Structure 1
Amino acid sequence: MDFQKFCSSTSFSRRNFLRSAGIASAAMSVPAFAQQAAQPTPAGQAAAAGGYGRRGGDMGEFRPLPPDTVIISSNENPLGPAGSALAAMMPAAKKGGRYDKEYMPATIQTISEQFGLPYGPGKTPFVRLYPGSGGPLDMALMSNISPDKPLVCGDPTYEQGPRAAATMKTKAIMVPLDKTTWKYDVKAMLAAHPSPGAYYIVNPNNPTGTITPREDILWLIQNKPAGSVVIVDEAYFHFSNQESVIDQVAAGKDVIVLRTFSKIYGMAGVRAGFAFGRPDLLAKFETVTASDRQLGSISLIAAAMAHASLTDKDLVPLRRKINRDTLDDTLSFLEKHNYKYIPGSQANMFMVDVNRPGREVQAAMLQEKVAIGRVWPALPTYVRVTVGTPVEMKAFQTAFLKVMNGPSQPTAAHLEMLNHIPHEIYRA
């Protein structure tokens, strides 16, 4: 591998950009660079600087966690934006005094060309670019469900689906994942209701990281009742080896696919995401009332960075390998110490069984200054852990052994602090 090229195109961390400038020309292996980029607990430092912890479900009150806390709770990418994206940022910023007539169209054209979607004069695009994928996900869900058209989800799954159902005053029908493969049970989902408004599939799934095979999703698309829509959230897709279902959008099926730049592209704070769908399905987004959806145009800078990331051919495979190597190392640690975890993760997260209420372990880990992910009602003794840097995962291993081998008696203060652990529920 040409490491100079790697440094210039894919590997700069947003948290270490200035510091990394002095080491970018060093000839190191990818794993060595990942170690270098991880010095020490940058997520915790960023959290403290920005008041990162927040009250659960409240976007108003922020409370910082201790400055040296390792934060592996939000499914963020610790590498930050790619060097190619950072290089595109300054030229775009110089044009920031004018409304963007350059970067957003170029980004939409690029992604349309990559997936064979209609684009050009006289053609209505099959994709829209947004400031993150959280807003368009809400609109995709809310524009297709109603009190008499419920939402069918997996269980456990990303909570934005059930929350959208609650907003629309309809049921979220929770269908358990297959307990052998931990994939979505699409046949059970189809049987759950005769005429739902939408089926919601996160692939790879959050929180389990597991994959639902493309052929299963195609089966659901082909067999679903007329008028319902299959919504596929591919936020973590790039970490997997799965084939996307965006081709079903090009084929004109009742499918909406969401993508984000927050995960493998490392742009959670930059805010960029796509919604793919037939023009009539995307037009329905506008039927969602303003109070129920996140609105706003993507910034010129975010569009420029997104475009640069899409055209950086080395970015995805290199970052997929870094994530996979770190994940495999952590899972080997769990196996060595006889801890059970949900197998088959193809994302930047995993779930481990702690054989006690998960919130107790989450709070006890916070006492050791390691913030891990939340607990899902369907799996109350499991905790979710984000894959951080190798240094952060070693800190996780040390803290986890201490917590699991000792009495789990977190203080009331640390139990209350669980409300301030950052998470991706309001994700870009």
Structure 2
Amino acid sequence: MYPTVDPLAPAGVAPTGISRRSFFRFAAGASALASLPILTEAHLAYADRPKFADPNKGIHIDANENPMGPCEAARQAMVNIIPRGGRYLFTGEEELAELFAKQEGLSPESVIPFAGSSEPLHFTVLAFTGKDRPLVIADPGYEAPMWAAKVSGAQIFKVPLADPKGEAKHDVKAMLAAASNPGVIYICNPNNPTGTCTPRSDIEYVVANAPKDTVILIDEAYIHLCDAPRSIDFVKEGKNVIVLRTFSKLYGMAGIRMGFAIGRPDLLAKITPFGGMNALPITAVVAAKASLLDPDLVPTRKKIIADTRVETIAWLKSQGYSCTPSESNCFMLDVRQPGKQVQAALAAKEMYVGRIWPAWPDSVRITVGTPDEMMAFRKDFTSVMSGSTAGLVLPKMPRRLEETPFRHMS
């Protein structure tokens, strides 16, 4: 059995070095849930940036953002709705959920819009884990579920990825064996930070063999960037599966905030008491609807990002470096030395790359930026790696969460 993990331990999840007091200053019970920060990729990326980083300067390929931003139709939709910004317009949320449900062959009751996918991720862990219901996740993997599990009192089992030097996929049999009664098994597909996909057959194995009360939480934040089969059909079949979707990645709406939780109505009913009934920004609602109605958006952007990723990884391999076989907008790069040294040296050139996962301390995560940004990355990476980072005075990093401008963004 894999050991449990305290995500607040100094050697635990990234961002390391964040104080215990800065996260959980609350009493036990309902007040704890009300005050818990809902962590997002933005929080975790910002917390790991050097203190001297200026968000308005340099190149930021550290937060899995899409620099293309919203599509033109989404931008125009937001402009057009601004005069009606004094209204809540709840019907817009209903129309958006109905549109997505129709496109995916779902019942509208199986879809709930949220401000991004971080809220339903967080609420699912709170709803289905607890003192006797652990959380099982991959390592390295997206860290946010662990913070919610800490509040619910759940044990956390981190299971190393299978074939880390190759496919770097979820080790589904080991994940099933890690705990006898998991409340949630979390699968991010494609995985963050590796960008790698877990085969459909493996995901089917988890769904078929998990304990009957276990919820399989499948995070498809990056699914539009790959050719892997989607998992929404598990919901149609009535399985214990909740699927997360977001407009933050391929759709370029990270700062606008829109996403969905997709699942059986009875499962969704258990996560909504934790939140999700608040009115959503009407700008985000209309931008999401316009994006869904653009038939060329996904294939066009998927190709642009894939071409840039493939060219960048090919160049790195030509220089003798290994990368994960990503199908997403990020990948892990083995720099063959402590990753924090390379991260800091690049930051000194105002080239900000992603954080380091304790399981792979010699690797850094690279977000796929624009072609011009990735050419600039090549130049700075060559400069840094041609010199020695030994003896480099590291900036004070990571930044503590209490110093960030973020509130409880989701």
> Under TM normalisation by the shorter chain, which class is it?
0.7 to 0.9
Q: Is the 8 A contact 1:76 1:268 kept in 2?
A: yes
Q: Please, which moves more after superposition, 98-107 or 397-406?
A: 98-107
Distance 1:54 1:254, change over 3 A: closer
Which of 221, 226, 235 is residue 235 of structure 1 equivalent to? 221
Aligned residue number for residue 56 of structure 1: 47
Q: Give the match's secondary structure for 1:218.
A: helix
1:194 Cα deviation after fit: 1.2
Aligned residue number for residue 399 of structure 2: 419
Aligned residue number for residue 70 of structure 2: 81
Give the whole-Å Cα distance in 2 for the aligned partners of 1:391 and 1:57: 24
Q: Give the match's secondary structure for 2:159.
A: strand
Q: Give the match's secondary structure for 1:258.
A: strand
Aligned residue number for residue 382 of structure 1: 363
1:419 Cα deviation after fit: 2.5
Aligned residue number for residue 260 of structure 2: 274
Aligned residue number for residue 38 of structure 1: none
* Amino acid of the structure 1 residue aligned with 2:73: S
1:425 Cα deviation after fit: 12
> Which gives a bigger RCO, structure 1 or 2 (Cα 8 Å, sep 6+)?
2
Confirm whether residue 354 of structure 1 aligns to residue 335 of structure 2.
yes
1:63 Cα deviation after fit: 6.9
Aligned residue number for residue 20 of structure 2: none
1:369 Cα deviation after fit: 1.2
1:53 Cα deviation after fit: 11
1:300 Cα deviation after fit: 1.0
Q: Is the 8 A contact 2:45 2:63 kept in 1?
A: no
Distance 1:295 1:76, change over 3 A: farther
Q: Is the 8 A contact 2:221 2:246 kept in 1?
A: yes
Q: Deviations over 1:370-402 (max 9, x none)?
A: 000000011000000000001110111111111
Q: Is the 8 A contact 1:360 1:415 kept in 2?
A: no
1:164 Cα deviation after fit: 1.7
1:136 Cα deviation after fit: 1.1
Which of 380, 395, 401 is residue 376 of structure 2 equivalent to? 395
Aligned residue number for residue 106 of structure 1: 95
1:101 Cα deviation after fit: 3.2
Distance 1:73 1:167, change over 3 A: same
Distance 1:372 1:420, change over 3 A: farther
Which of 154, 159, 162 is residue 178 of structure 1 equivalent to? 162
Give the whole-Å Cα distance in 1 for the aligned partners of 2:209 and 2:406: 32
Give the whole-Å Cα distance in 2 for the aligned partners of 1:127 and 1:194: 30
Distance 1:283 1:66, change over 3 A: closer
Distance 1:164 1:147, change over 3 A: same
Give the whole-Å Cα distance in 2 for the aligned partners of 1:295 and 1:378: 37
TM-score normalized by structure 1? 0.80
1:410 Cα deviation after fit: 7.0
* Amino acid of the structure 1 residue aligned with 2:242: I
Q: Give the match's secondary structure for 1:164.
A: helix
Q: Give the match's secondary structure for 2:119.
A: helix
Query: Percent identity between the aligned chains?
Result: 42
Give the whole-Å Cα distance in 2 for the aligned partners of 1:306 and 1:326: 25
Distance 1:337 1:205, change over 3 A: same
Q: Give the match's secondary structure for 2:242.
A: strand
Distance 1:426 1:410, change over 3 A: farther
Distance 1:215 1:332, change over 3 A: same
Aligned residue number for residue 299 of structure 1: 281
- Match runs of 1:82-161 below 5 Å: 82-119=71-108, 125-161=109-145
* Amino acid of the structure 1 residue aligned with 2:95: A
Which of 337, 349, 357 is residue 368 of structure 1 equivalent to? 349
Distance 1:314 1:183, change over 3 A: same
How well do the aligned residues superpose, as a CA RMSD in angstroms?
2.5
* Amino acid of the structure 2 residue aligned with 1:318: T
1:368 Cα deviation after fit: 1.4
Give the whole-Å Cα distance in 2 for the aligned partners of 1:73 and 1:297: 30
Q: Give the match's secondary structure for 2:211.
A: coil
Aligned residue number for residue 315 of structure 1: 297
Aligned residue number for residue 217 of structure 1: 203
User: Structure 2, unaligned stretches of length 5 or more?
Assistant: 1-42
Give the whole-Å Cα distance in 2 for the aligned partners of 1:420 and 1:275: 30
Confirm whether residue 254 of structure 1 aligns to residue 240 of structure 2.
yes
* Amino acid of the structure 2 residue aligned with 1:408: T
Distance 1:156 1:64, change over 3 A: closer
Q: Deviations over 1:245-288 (max 9, x none)?
A: 11111111100000110000000010101000111111111344
Q: Give the match's secondary structure for 1:143.
A: helix
Give the whole-Å Cα distance in 1 for the aligned partners of 2:231 and 2:192: 18
Q: Is the 8 A contact 1:82 1:309 kept in 2?
A: yes
Distance 1:391 1:53, change over 3 A: farther
